[in-house]
Amino acid sequence: MSALQHPASDAVVTARDLRVWYAGPKGPVRAVDGVTFEVRKGEILGLVGESGCGKSTLGRGLLGLLPEGAARDGSLVVGGRDVLSMSAKEARRLRGGELGMIFQEPLTRLNPLMRVSDHFAETLKVHEPRLPRKEIERRSLEALRVVGIPPTRFRAYPHEFSGGMRQRIMIALTLVVRPAFVVADEPTTALDVLVEAQIIRNLHTLRAEFDTAMLLITHNLGIVAEACDRVAVMYAGRIVEIGDAREVFRNPQHSYTRELLRSTISLETDGLHYIDGAPPDLVAPPPGCRFHPRCPDAMVVCAQRTPADKVLAGGSRVACWAAEERAGVSGLGPHESAPLEREEIGVADEA
Ligand SMILES: Nc1ncnc2c1ncn2[C@@H]1O[C@H](COP(=O)(O)OP(=O)(O)OP(=O)(O)O)[C@@H](O)[C@H]1O
Ligand code: SF4
Ligand SMILES: [Mg+2]
């Protein structure tokens, strides 16, 4: 199949009940614990959640870039192919072209002895060996333009650039092969705000021109609001809410989403608001809804039964008993929907 052929639907990546875990001394660390979602052609899907919720593990798991001792199961289809049953060689080939990853800390560094132009030529030659020289230059300059590096710097050496510029060059090197799907894991945290805004604008151009689908992992909810089509909210290894980014921001359904938004928004308005406690240990997470020990809306049922994924008003998919109650579809009896008593909250998390 050619690099850009996609299945009939517009999904570039489809994960069904995907799990990723690491071997740990106390048992497996279930960092991604049964997530189902897709990334559509040309869309930017934001992935948010507190530190340690499994965002990077999910991003790396989608690309098969996991450390020794990590394992995946469930179903993962990329570009129409089942990647979990692929040989290591096939998976490497897929990563060389159709899939790309932008890291906050790039794993590969620019070679100080090579001009930027040579880095591009080398990258493109691996992927498209027959590309004429003129075309290599045209494609490279186009990728540099996306990250805001002027063409006059094309033949400079890495040490002639600032750290932030070198990072943008790394981003351009990922984009120059026009991958069908890119995971960007906090690509902009090391950049200043203006450059960040510029890159985000340019990512839009990229998407419009090449139909690149992107999973954008970030702590910056402002970026999600500005740059993403949809957003997935992750908590303790699971996607708890996913939907149209503007809709989720305007009308969060899951209590965790609401608290997460509140903790950011109030930075600018009425002082600091933290969600009490911390995300759970992923070796032995709490039963029922994993957020229940910290949730201000927790009901008796929340500590007992895991809420199912449901598509609720506004089109978002949510796994939250309180959201179901509000929508009148929970079917809970009065005992189950009673507020969870404080003492039942149990383990006192350290804030
Ligand atoms: N190589 C590893 N071996 C064992 N456990 C790991 C490894 N990498 C991550 N973990 C654990 O997996 C869980 C999820 O980590 P992950 O890095 O995916 O979270 P994250 O949401 O990206 O966090 P952050 O926002 O801080 O980047 C954490 O409990 C973490 O300690
Ligand atoms: S399911 Fe219950 S505990 Fe979990 S977020 Fe919803 S209301 Fe809170
Ligand atoms: Mg991370």
The residue ranges of every structural domain in the chain are 1-98+179-279, 108-176
Q: How far does residue 312's CA lie from ligand 2's centre (Å)? A: 15
Mean pLDDT of 31-43: 95
Give the pLDDT confidence score for residue 90 in this predicted structure: 87
* Ligand 1 pocket: which of 48, 55, 183 to mutate (most atoms within 8 A of CB): 55
Closest residue (by CA) to atom 9 of ligand 1?
57
Q: Tens of pLDDT along 251-285?
A: 999 999 999 998 875 545 555 567 889 999 999 99
Mean pLDDT of 188-206: 67
Q: Tens of pLDDT along 55-113?
A: 999 999 999 989 999 999 999 999 888 999 998 888 888 876 778 777 655 556 789 99
pTM: 0.89
Closest residue (by CA) to atom 17 of ligand 1?
56
Say what angle helices 133-146 and 193-210 make with each other, to 10 degrees: 130
Q: Tens of pLDDT along 209-253?
A: 778 899 999 888 888 888 899 999 999 999 999 999 999 999 999
1-98+179-279, what's its fold? Rossmann fold (3.40.50)
Model confidence at 44, pLDDT cuts 50, 70, 90, reads: very high
Give the pLDDT confidence score for residue 8 in this predicted structure: 39
Q: Is the CB of 52 under 6 A from ligand 1?
A: yes
Q: Which atom of ligand 2 is nearest to the CA of 323?
A: 6
Q: Tens of pLDDT along 276-318?
A: 899 999 999 999 999 999 999 999 999 999 999 999 978 999 9
Asked whether residue 321 carries a pLDDT value surpassing 80, the answer given is yes
Q: How far does residue 343's CA lie from ligand 3's centre (Å)? A: 33
Question: In whole numbers, what is the pLDDT of the chain averaged over residues?
Answer: 87
Contacts 24+ apart (CB under 8 A), 255-261: 255/291, 255/295, 255/296, 255/297, 255/320, 255/322, 255/323, 256/291, 256/295, 256/320, 257/233, 259/294, 259/295, 259/296, 260/48, 260/49, 260/50, 260/221, 260/233, 261/221
State the Cα–Cα distance between residues 99 and 334, nearest whole angstrom.
49
State the Cα–Cα distance between residues 58 and 340, nearest whole angstrom.
31
Q: Tens of pLDDT along 105-125?
A: 555 678 999 999 999 999 999
Closest residue (by CA) to atom 5 of ligand 2?
255
